[in-house]
Amino acid sequence: MCGIVGYIGFKEGLQVQEVILSGLEKLEYRGYDSAGICIYNDGIQIFKDKGRVAHLRTLVDNSLNSKLGIGHTRWATHGIPSQSNSHPHQSKTGRFTIVHNGVIENEMELREKYLEDYPFISDTDTEVIAALIEYFEENGEDVELAIRHVMGIIKGSYALGIVDSRTPDVFYAAKNKSPLLVGLGDGFNMIGSDAMSIIKYTNQFIELHDEEFIVLKSDSVSIYSILGAKIERTPYTETLDASDTEKGIYPYYMLKEIDEQPYAIRRIVAKYFTDTDYNINPNIVEVLSNTDRIYIVAAGTSMNAGFVGKQLFESIAKIPTEVHIASEFVYNTPLISKKPLFIFLSQSGETADSRAVLVKIKKLGYKSLTITNVKGSTLSREADYTLLLHAGVEIAVASTKAYTSQIAVMAILAANEANMDVSFLKTQLALVANIIETITDNKLIYKELADKYLVKRNCFYIGRHVDYYVAIEAALKLKEISYIQTEGFAAGELKHGTIALIEQGTPVIAIISQENINLNTRSNIKEVKSRGANVIVISLKSLSSATDQVVIDDVDPILAPLVTIVPTQLLAYYAALGRGLDIDKPRNLAKSVTVE
């Protein structure tokens, strides 16, 4: 969370303020409580405030002519969103100015040890870093050593951009756990929390690793270890297309990404099959064949996809599978089987909670596979194997196409393990893509349903079997963007307590995609209806009844979550739209959660 960007150098037609501001706009998905930039123009100039980058734009002096700038968009962890807590932060003399993404866990200890009586201005942990760099510099260390010294004593995560007002022909960066990339230009160099923030200016990138320190000038980039040893690293060409990150004709990224799901599924088919066979890294296939238990570790929507993955691995591949909340697993680790395979599901590949588990299980010597949308992301780099989602950039905070893509990739993996007929699965996935298209072509139904029913303070999604797993994800989607308090419930469990919350007009949305639970779920629907609920039923055609509001064409039941989730994404979208909310940037959230 939080995004940083930095630029040094000169390119005809590029104005530093604009480079930094446009980079921050791309990074806003990482946090949007406040934003700020530092521009060097015969001295340090700082513009910052709480609020969005659009607000920051109105504060920035456009007449400044500069060759150096750093910027930050914030997701508050230490201190409320406010002008004083916004980045950049400075050391007390104003010499060092820094932007920071991450969390310093031992800031209190460091304050006590080195910074007693220091006149802190903000409540942030970041200000401690600026203060410490100045402290060590004042105690005789040169600036580079002072920064590396600070890197050595802080515990936690950081991606840093650091400007020394005395040397405006250089700026510094450092990375540990939080993501950071270098972009190499002709006459300029950049840093950014992700490729999207840089790609408009260059596609030549250098990957950075943890505990690395970087010195950037307009014509050079030098990377050092925390101990000062020079590191050589070959740049790579980033294939991300700048236009992938645009909304185009869509009012919101979320709607664009919902609509992109059929293409994502078709791309997955193209990547993971040859004409007649599966096309999966044989090493992954072998590891999967030799495992006695899969442990899926993830957070949020990715974890919800993991529940469907469990269903797929157990019913198709016959491999026992557990799903774990990443943030719980680290501190309350279950008993592990003899030959486990850990699967990390993560759209961003950067989720700190999942990464903490990966670090832990690697130390224990267990094998790991990351399924992610982001090539070269931390979870991808650090796991033994990676399978990419190929879903295209996902920008809306509410994840949609990553969820369906994760399920599709796991279905293929499980089917390969079971030697499932290739043409059958390909046909079914093609059918899935077509059905999603039919759903997204008829959006008005969902707008009408949302406007009519999703007007209460709370709501329930219910389902049994795999529909229960979809209900959990559907509930997350609705609550996170519309702020309607929504729970996803096993339909049969409602009567054991939660049914007490059903009152006149409470919306209950039931999902029915499996034959063996159709009648049971319908009984549960009657139970809530007779207590006043307004029920919407989403069913597969062969299981539908005449009064069901949303009837979806049939697909093999094992793949049903890929289609039943889509109406719920649209319901969430229209419920939020009806309430006039900022759909792509719901309150208190950020897309990439890089703090534990």
**Residues carrying an active site annotation:** 2, 591
Q: How far apart are CA 3 and CA 575, in angstroms?
A: 29
Residues 279, 335 contacting (CB under 8 angstroms): no
The region, left, alpha or beta by phi > 0 then psi within -120 to 50, assigned to residue 505 is left
In the chain, % helix, strand, coil (3-state, to 5) comes to 40, 25, 35
Please identify which residue in 157, 301, 514, 521 interacts with ligand F6R, judged by CB under 6 A: 301
Closer residue to ligand F6R in complex, CB, 374/517:
374
Find where tokens 């340090």 sit: 44
Token pair belonging to 339: 């030959």
Closer residue to ligand F6R in complex, CB, 291/346:
346
Closer residue to ligand F6R in complex, CB, 302/380:
302
Residues between 521 and 550 that touch ligand F6R (CB under 6 A): none
Find where tokens 């501190």 sit: 331
Please identify which residue in 66, 73, 124, 302 interacts with ligand F6R, judged by CB under 6 A: 302
Closer residue to ligand F6R in complex, CB, 538/572:
572
Q: How far is CA 125 from the centre of its chain?
A: 23
Min dist. Cβ of residue 278 to ligand F6R (A) = 25
Please identify which residue in 34, 90, 124, 399 interacts with ligand F6R, judged by CB under 6 A: 399
DSSP 477-534: HHHHHH--EEEEEEGGGGGGTGGGG--TT-EEEEEE--GGGHHHHHHHHHHHHTTT-E
Q: How far apart are CA 504 and CA 137, in angstroms?
A: 67
Size of the site for ligand F6R (CB under 6 A): 15
Please identify which residue in 8, 39, 184, 299 interacts with ligand F6R, judged by CB under 6 A: 299
Find where tokens 């979550």 sit: 561
Prior bond to 561 cis, omega within 30?
Answer: no
Please identify which residue in 319, 398, 412, 576 interacts with ligand F6R, judged by CB under 6 A: 398
Min dist. Cβ of residue 192 to ligand F6R (A) = 18
Min dist. Cβ of residue 296 to ligand F6R (A) = 12
Min dist. Cβ of residue 357 to ligand F6R (A) = 11
Binding mask 18-47 for ligand F6R (x = CB under 6 A): ------------------------------
Residues 210, 222 contacting (CB under 8 angstroms): no
Residues between 339 and 358 that touch ligand F6R (CB under 6 A): 346-348, 351, 354
Residues pairing with 72 in the sheet: 4, 36
Token pair belonging to 130: 């600026």
Please identify which residue in 36, 88, 161, 300 interacts with ligand F6R, judged by CB under 6 A: 300
In this chain, which stretch among 178-186, 210-218, 293-301, 329-337 interacts with ligand F6R, using CB under 6 A? 293-301
Q: How far apart are CA 534 and CA 504, in angstroms?
A: 8
Min dist. Cβ of residue 359 to ligand F6R (A) = 15
Closer residue to ligand F6R in complex, CB, 351/539:
351
Min dist. Cβ of residue 461 to ligand F6R (A) = 15
Q: How far apart are CA 18 and CA 101, in angstroms?
A: 21
Residue at shortest CB range from ligand F6R: 300
Residues 38, 45 contacting (CB under 8 angstroms): yes
Closer residue to ligand F6R in complex, CB, 122/178:
178
Min dist. Cβ of residue 531 to ligand F6R (A) = 30
Min dist. Cβ of residue 116 to ligand F6R (A) = 38
593 binds ligand F6R (CB under 6 A): yes
Min dist. Cβ of residue 377 to ligand F6R (A) = 9
Closer residue to ligand F6R in complex, CB, 245/518:
245
Residues 6 or more apart whose Cβ sits within 8 Å of residue 493: none
257 binds ligand F6R (CB under 6 A): no
Closer residue to ligand F6R in complex, CB, 70/303:
303
Min dist. Cβ of residue 457 to ligand F6R (A) = 21
Please identify which residue in 137, 382, 417, 480 interacts with ligand F6R, judged by CB under 6 A: 480
In our burial notation (b when 16+ CB lie closer than 10 A, e otherwise), range 571-595 reads bbbbbbbeeeeebbbbeebbbbbbb
Residues 322, 298 contacting (CB under 8 angstroms): no
Binding mask 141-180 for ligand F6R (x = CB under 6 A): ----------------------------------------
> Residue 538 is which amino acid?
I
Q: How far apart are CA 53 and CA 4, in angstroms?
A: 12
In this chain, which stretch among 100-108, 120-128, 299-307, 510-518 interacts with ligand F6R, using CB under 6 A? 299-307
Q: How far apart are CA 484 and CA 455, in angstroms?
A: 8
Closer residue to ligand F6R in complex, CB, 537/565:
565
CB-facing half-sphere around the CA of 366: CA atoms within 13 A: 23
Q: How far apart are CA 413 and CA 261, in angstroms?
A: 19
Whole-number Cα distances in Å, 201 to 15, 26, 106, 246: 12, 13, 37, 15
Closer residue to ligand F6R in complex, CB, 193/354:
354
Q: Which positions touch ligand F6R (CB under 6 A)?
A: 299-302, 346-348, 351, 354, 398-399, 476, 480, 592-593
